[in-house]
Amino acid sequence: MKNRNVTGIVLAVIYCVVLFEILTDAPPGEAPNNPPWVYAMIPLGAVVITSLFDYVIKFDFFKKKK
């Protein structure tokens, strides 16, 4: 698909980085105590965000139409 929405991709990458930092945050010397299904929210959320911007919202901040 060559007409991907760049805004959705940028927001999905930001979402992935922020959620990863939140999920791996733990006190020093301790491991993060999260169930395994929580880490599946990272790619699922990215797919939902890009799909919303590709098919529903269709607004692209980076590619302006002439």
Give the per-residue pLDDT at 42. Answer: 93
Sequence spans of domains, the chain: 6-56
State the pLDDT at residue 66.
63
Q: What is the mean pLDDT of residues 19-48?
A: 91
* Residue 64 pLDDT > 80: no
pLDDT at residue 58 in the model: 86
What's the confidence (pLDDT) of residue 36? 87
Contacts (Cβ under 8 Å, ≥6 apart) of 31? none
Cα 57 from Cα 6, distance rounded (Å)? 12
- Look-up of token digits 């965000």: 49
At 1, is the pLDDT very low, low, confident or very high (cuts 50, 70, 90)? low
